[in-house]
Structure 1
Amino acid sequence: MPVNEYGQMIGEPVDDTPGVLPSLIRIEGRYTIIEALSVEKHAEDLLAVYGPDSPREMWTYLFQAQVADMKELVTLLNQMLARKDRFYYAIIDKATGKALGTFSLMRIDQNNRVIEVGAVTFSPELRGTRIGTEAQYLLARYVFEELNYRRYEWKCDALNLPSRRAAERLGFIYEGTFRQAVIYKGRTRDTDWLSMIDKDWLQVKSRLETWLAPENFDKDGRQYKSLREL
């Protein structure tokens, strides 16, 4: 730990070059593709994710609610894309070409090179799959290796235990709970904060790549070793 001329411990020196805003158009992985969200390209598929047939319980901890029809979905997607402080991406099953969910890069602090993955909206078909895990891996790799951010955050309702477990499975570390941090849908929310930093990334990356490797799955796509085992 560095010490200044007064004998006080101080933080390590760091490059203070500001981060750049995301410009991701498309990244192709082994199982999935993530690409910039498009109403024209993705709305038809996403109606199954955001629409009236989606499970009601999946919206409990999300800020938005399910939409009634395609008209409402198009309005919602256009509102999402109009935001200048978030960058939304569709998650595509590479085998079928079908969009199964969305997520975004948000709460971007360029000066401190801090960025958050949020608004994670996965269909039941996407949850717990290597497609979803690879999508998160590809986005994290983009954040650390191309955008050169120092800190990558995940925040969720403290009562949303599946979200916290998903984050920890991916390599995010729980840092604490902000009590009464948010009001949404007419109720209060305590928010769990988790993060991954650049010093963590090489180990996290290796673990994710080991899990995602074809030899970790049988011919039916069942894993031999879970990510938590690695």
Structure 2
Amino acid sequence: MSAPNPAKSAPERITLEGNYVRLEPIERRHAADLFAVATMPGGPERYRWLFSDAPQSLAALQAWIDTVIAGPDSYVAIIDKRSGRAVGQQAWMRIFPEHASIEIGGVYWGLPMARTPLATEALFLFARHAFDDLGYRRFEWKCNSRNDPSKAAATRFGFHYEGLFRQDRITKGESRDTAWFSIIDSEWPALRAEYQRWLSPDNFDADGMQKSRLMTR
């Protein structure tokens, strides 16, 4: 049995283009849009399970962007192609090209993305780039075990639950048990086909509502 191959490289700071969203390397120019989304009614609550808190000012968000650009993780801004505005963010984390393993994390999908294909396509673009372009074998999703919406999203997207890391972190003054999920390369071709089917414009009516749901199981 031959040894598995490493991935080609870590993801570079490039733009990934979809039908509904465009993923751009995060920069200060995205701060105003992201601050507007983070501070709209209901926006701050979406920071409940993130390691960072909701930004209290545009300057604070700009400083946070400076910090993550200089850090080990690779954040992108999620651009709604209809409006041209940044409506969320996500990041490549735990990047191990030598093991062909990578994580999507730091996910903040703002309220304008709710009940639209934007979040699903943002996830799909990351997965497709990791598996098809860079040759990763493993694509991870992790969350606080108490974050039921995140666990439900992971299952909907086709990730497999792998287990619980008890007392894994201390975040925001609380002990965090971390739930681990993954997709591996042998599972990706079938998932890719289903994502492409679901994201087709033919699957949405004139009001943007799905005609059929994503079937990853």
- Please state if 1:173 is matched with 2:160: yes
Corresponding residue of 1:72: 60
- Structure 1 runs (4+) deviating above 6 angstroms are none
**Distance (whole Å) between structure 2 residues aligned to residue 91 and residue 72 of structure 1:** 19
Q: Secondary structure at the match of 1:111?
A: helix
User: Is the counterpart of residue 45 in structure 1 residue 33 in structure 2?
Assistant: yes
C-alpha displacement of 1:19: 4.1
Contact 1:54 1:66 in 2 (8 A): no
Are 1:103 and 1:119, in contact at CA under 8 Å, matched by a contact in 2?
Answer: yes
> Which residue of structure 1 aligns with residue 115 of structure 2?
128
Superposed displacement of residue 38, structure 1: 1.2
CA RMSD across the alignment? 1.6
**How does 1:90-109 map onto structure 2 within 5 Å?**
90-109=77-96
TM-score, normalised relative to structure 1: 0.89
Residue 144, structure 1, aligned to residue 159, structure 2: no
Amino acid at match of 2:149: P
Once the two structures are TM-superposed, the CA of residue 127 in structure 1 deviates from its matched residue by 2.8
Q: What amino acid does structure 1 have at the position aligned with 2:101?
A: V
Larger relative contact order (C-alpha < 8 A, sep ≥ 6)? Answer: 2
What's the TM-score once normalised by structure 2's chain length?
0.94
CA distance in 2, matches of 1:187, 1:174: 23
Paired amino acid for 2:48: T
Look up the SS of the partner of 2:88 in the other structure.
Answer: strand
Contact 1:19–1:112 (8 Å) recurs in 2: no
Asked if the contact 1:52/1:69 (under 8 Å) is kept, the reply is no
The answer as to 2:184 corresponding to 1:184 is no
Residue aligning to 2:209 = 222
Give the fraction of aligned pairs with identical amino acids, expressed as a percent. Answer: 39
Alpha-carbon distance change, 38 to 54 in structure 1, aligned in 2, over 3 angstroms: farther
One-letter identity of the residue aligned with 1:101:
G
Aligned position for 2:25: 36
- Could you tell me which runs of 5 or more consecutive residues in structure 2 were left unpaired when the two chains were aligned: none
Q: Secondary structure at the match of 2:189?
A: helix
| TM-aligned CA distance change 1:77 to 1:53, over 3 Å | farther
Does 2:5 correspond to 1:16?
Answer: yes
Residue 47 of structure 2 corresponds to 59
Residues 107-137 of structure 1: CA distance to partner in whole angstroms, max 9, x if unpaired? 1112111000000011111133201111111
Q: Distance in 2 between matches of 1:116 and 1:224?
A: 30
Residue 194 of structure 2: aligned partner: 207
Q: Does 1:164 align with 2:135?
A: no
The size of the alignment, in residue pairs, is 217
Cα deviation 1:173-192 (Å, max 9, x = unaligned): 11111111111001101100
Rg comparison, structure with higher value: 1
Asked if 2 retains the 8 angstrom alpha-carbon contact of 1:51 and 1:73, the reply is: no
Asked whether the 8 Å contact 1:48–1:54 carries over to 2, the reply is: no
Describe the shift of the 1:107–1:229 C-alpha distance in structure 2 as closer, same or farther (beyond 3 A). closer
8 Å CA contact 2:100–2:138 kept in 1: the answer is yes
Single out whichever of 128-137 and 142-151 deviates more from structure 2: 128-137
**1:47 touches 1:70 (CA, 8 Å); kept in 2?**
yes
